[in-house]
Every structure is written in C-alpha cells, then in structure tokens.
Amino acid sequence: MTLCCYAHPHESNVNWEAFTACGTIVLAVFTILLAIAAIRQLIDVKEFFIQNKILNQVQSSESIIIKQMEFHHKLLDGIQFENLPGGRASFKILYQFLNEYYAETLNKAIDETEDEINNRINMAFSKLYKEYCYLFGNYYKNLYLLIKYIDELPENPEYKKDYYINLVTAQLSRFEILLLAYDCIWIYNDKRIGQNFMDYASKHNLFSSLETSELMHISHKELFTNRYKINFDN
C-alpha cells in the first residue's frame, strides 16, 4: 500500500511574507548603494571639472606673469642715457645721482628727526624724478602692476604667490632694488599706488635682500623698519 503525503499550503515551512520583506529590504539597500555610487561619481566629476578649471586659471595667470616679465625686460632694455650706459647699468648711475641730490639736502638740514630724514629723501628723489622720470618712471609703474597682479591672485595653494614674487625680485639688480626702495618712500603719499607699493614691499619682503650698507645713510635702515615696516636680511 502506497502512502502519499501532501503538505497543506498553510503548513509549509516557507514564510512567504518574510521572504518578500527581505527581498524588499535587499532591493532598497541595493538601490541606496547605487544612488550613493552615482552621487559619488557626480561629486568626482564635479571635483574634476573644478580642479581642471582651477588648473586652467593658474596656467593662464602664470602665462600673464611670464608675458609681463618679458615686457618688463623690454622696458629695462629701452632705458638709455644719451651718453651713458643704458639698460640695467643705468640704475647704478641713477642711484649715484640720487646720492648726490641727497648729499645736497644735508646742508639744509635743521635736525635729525625721522620726519626730516624722510623729507630729505623726498626732496632728493623729486629732483631725480624731475630730471630722469622719462627713463625709469614706466619701468617702476609696470613693476608695481606686476606685483599687484600677483598679490591679488586667489588665495589658493595652486597659486604659488611666494614663488612668483621671488621670481620677479630675482630679476632685479641691487641698484634697481635700492632705487625702488626710495621710490616707494617718495610716492608713499600718492594714494593711487604709493602706499600700496610700500605695503606690498612689506608684505612680500621685496627689500629683504637689499644691502643695507648701500643705503644713502645709516639712519635709513631704521626709517624703513620703523615707519614702513620693512624687514631686511642684513
């Protein structure tokens, strides 16, 4: 006799409601994981485009700096005295003239106050500018615009501001820097560029490598340090 056993549906060991619930949970988790992956991919794509945009901007800025430096060298080469050496050598001659004009102001000095020293520098440089501004005026204006451009670049590590500034100042001879330092004093009260240029000099240590022993007078080092917040390496 053959025994046949049939399981009644409600007596089955399979809990279909639980199985369906588990399947729904698994599907939901899978959907969430897909969504997270998609979001991450979108974020990565967005970051890629942002980084690529920044990189392009940095490259564009560096190209502008290089072109501006090339133009700066053209201005330097264009500085020519009538019967004296031109180009970079002209700044040594200009600085010698400035020293002579400053020596003339010593005879007019009443005291040795900081204000008087500052005024003497302004008097000497005013005379130099009146005589030879056609030689170096545009040169220093262009240098100011270049430093200003670098200073105003975005505060982003991708922009190597210190490197750019050092690259510019490394091109300057000691007499270019010496004359620039006194130029910054002379134009300091010109709010269009003067005070900013001295502020840039202080902020970016433009005069740090300046040979203080070559200043027109020993008192000028203290003047630069106290009044204009300029630091020197020597």
Mean pLDDT across the stretch 194-222? 88
- Max distance between CA atoms of the chain, in angstroms, equals 142
How far, CA to CA in Å, does 42 sit from each of 37, 127, 174?
A: 9, 64, 53
* Residue 61, domain member (yes or no): no
Top-ranked range on mean pLDDT: pick from 62-71, 159-168, 179-188: 179-188
pTM above 0.95, yes or no: no
pLDDT at 178 over 60: yes
Spatial neighbors of 127 by CB under 8 A, at least 6 apart, are 101
* Residue 30, domain member (yes or no): no
* Residue 185, domain member (yes or no): yes
pLDDT at 107 over 80: no
Quickly state the pLDDT bin for 191 (edges 50, 70, 90).
low
CA 221-225-231 angle, to 5 degrees, is 95
Q: Mean pLDDT of all residues in the chain?
A: 82
How confident is the model at residue 43, as a pLDDT? 66
* Residue 216, domain member (yes or no): yes
Query: What domain range is 223 assigned to?
Result: 80-228
**Terminal-to-terminal C-alpha distance of the chain:** 117
Q: How many structural domains compose the chain?
A: 1
* Residue 10, domain member (yes or no): no
How confident is the model at residue 225, as a pLDDT? 92
* Residue 192, domain member (yes or no): yes
* Residue 135, domain member (yes or no): yes
* Residue 190, domain member (yes or no): yes
Quickly state the pLDDT bin for 7 (edges 50, 70, 90).
very low
